[in-house]
Structure formats: C-alpha cells, structure tokens
Amino acid sequence: MEILGIDIGGTGIKAAMVDIAAGKLTSDRFRLPTPENASPDAIAEVVREITNHFNCTNRFGCTVPARVEHGLVRTAANIHEFWIDTQVDELFAEKTGCDVTILNDADAAGLASMKYGAGRGRNGIVFFLTVGTGIGSAMFLDGQLIPGTELGMLTLRGQAAELYASARARKRDELDWDEWAARFQEYLDYVEYLFAPDTIILGGGISRPKRVEQYISYLSTKAELLIAELQNEAGIIGAAYAASADHQ
C-alpha cells in the first residue's frame, strides 16, 4: 500500500509516496517553498498543489512544526502564533478533498524510526530527539507514541534548552564540536534525570554520518544512545505511516 506523506518545514514543504510495508519512498521527493506568509491558508494552498501533483484522492499524512491534539494546533513555538487553535486536519481536508492525518513533525520522525529505523524492537521508554534549528522530541512507551512532548522547551540555564543546545546554537555561538557536545550533554543529563529513558535516538541534522563522528565520542548516557537512520526522509515516512490503516 502506498500513501502520500507531506512534511512541512520552515523553508520548504517536502512530499513523496511511501510504501507502508517497507517504509521506503516510491517516488521522487517533491518540494515547494514554504510561503513567506506561512499562514494556515497559505500552507493549505501549497498542500493542495502537492496533493494535485501526486493525484492524491483518498488519504495522506502531514506534519506540522507544532503540538497537535486531534488535528488541532495547540502551541506555536516554531510557527506563527496565528496557527494556534486552527483545526488543521479540517482545513487541509476541505482544501484538498482528501482525508488527512495531522501530527507533530518530531512525532512523525519518531514513528518512522520506531517502525522502520533505529528504534525497531525497542521497548520501555524511548525518546526520539530531532536536533537542528531547535530540539524536537517524540516519546514512546513500549512502542506506543505519547504525543505532544516539547522537550526542547525544557528550561536549561535559564532559557529554553533548544536555545542553548541545538545545532543552531552551535553555529550562532561559533562552538567547536566538543564545546557544543558539552552543552548537549547537559541537556541529555537533564532528560535522563527527569524521565530515565531506556533508549535515546538522535535524529535531525546531527544524525548525518559526517556530523555524528564529530561529536559522538563526547556524549555519554545511561540510556542506550542510537543515531537515527532515515534522516531527511523520516518526516515524510512517519506522516504516511500515521495515516495508514497499519497505524490506525
């Protein structure tokens, strides 16, 4: 079975058809720029263009960079506040004529990892952390997603952790990899203190192999520490899987 997955980002909106059984893209990725006025209606127009491109007439999955509860946006840490209280699933369904499953982007990437990637077979408490412009999180208990965590918003040294320990913070403060790893280690220590996870999976930009080798030797966790495998395709694959009968 193939389902369309759409991943909404700050600069681009990416999509592809996904083989749900294999967790693999079955089409080339199609990308359109995120509108400068990234309002819900403007994004919905781009989503409509994408569904038309793929001739989608039934169901698709779509990520948004916000906390989502049953298709309703609750927070706007990484998108404009006018998204708050938008029933995005209904908006996109009306615009496209398709059924749609909406979920947080980190939750989608985490779902993909647990089903098809580094998280396969891991039980207990698993955290999937996407580290890039910010820090996103997805939490799983015995393989089941507990949606809506925002662990990048934990307070660390008097500010949101993602402002202190994200990849963007490394570039902003011109940190060497060992200096950034020391900051990120503080963050991991805090997460472990609060939740005592069994496994932590690192995804996002820092999961690229050439970057991993720059910092991984500086990190130490009580939890099993893994690197995500699906990289840039994780959001698309997770969105498609979330919309599938297999996940429903």
Residues 98-118 have pLDDT tens digits of: 999 999 999 999 999 999 999
Does 183 fall in a domain? Answer: yes
Residue 247 is assigned to a structural domain of this protein: no
Q: Are 208 and 144 in a shared domain?
A: yes
User: Of 144, 151, 9, 148, nearest to 74 (Cα)?
Assistant: 148
Task: Tell me, yes or no, whether 194 lies in a domain.
Answer: yes
Nearest to 61 by CA among 214, 192, 206, 239: 239
Same domain, 125 and 97: no
80 with 158, same domain?
no
Q: The tokens 């309703």 sit on which residue?
A: 72
**Do residues 46 and 136 both lie within one domain?**
no
Q: Are residues 123 and 102 in the same domain?
A: no
**Residue 142 maps to a domain:** yes
CB under 8 Å to 42, separation ≥6 — which residues? 35
What tens digit of pLDDT does each residue of 31-68 get? 999 888 788 999 999 999 999 999 998 999 999 988 88
Instruction: Note the pLDDT of residue 197.
Output: 98
> 76 to each of 35, 72, 183, 232, how far by Cα in Å?
17, 12, 25, 22
Residues 6-15: tens digit of each pLDDT: 999 888 999 9
Residue 219 is assigned to a structural domain of this protein: yes
Q: What is the mean pLDDT of residues 84-90?
A: 92
Q: Which domain holds residue 24?
A: 2-107+233-242
**Chain-wide mean pLDDT for the chain?**
94
Q: Tell me if 113 is assigned to some domain.
A: no
Same domain? For 96 and 137 the reply is: no
- Kindly report, residue by residue over 190-199, the tens digit of the pLDDT: 999 999 999 9
State how many domains the chain has. 2
DSSP letter at 87? B
Residue 200: give its domain's CATH number. 3.30.420.40
Please tell me whether residues 135 and 210 are part of one structural domain: yes
- Same domain? For 65 and 124 the reply is no
Residues 156 and 88 in one domain: no
DSSP string, 61-80: EEEESS-EETTEE---SSS-
pLDDT value, residue 24? 96
Residues 90 and 169 in one domain: no
Q: What is the pLDDT of residue 66?
A: 86
Distance between CA atoms of residues 191 and 129, nearest Å: 11
Inform me whether the pLDDT recorded for 144 exceeds 90. yes
Give me the amino acid identity at 73: V
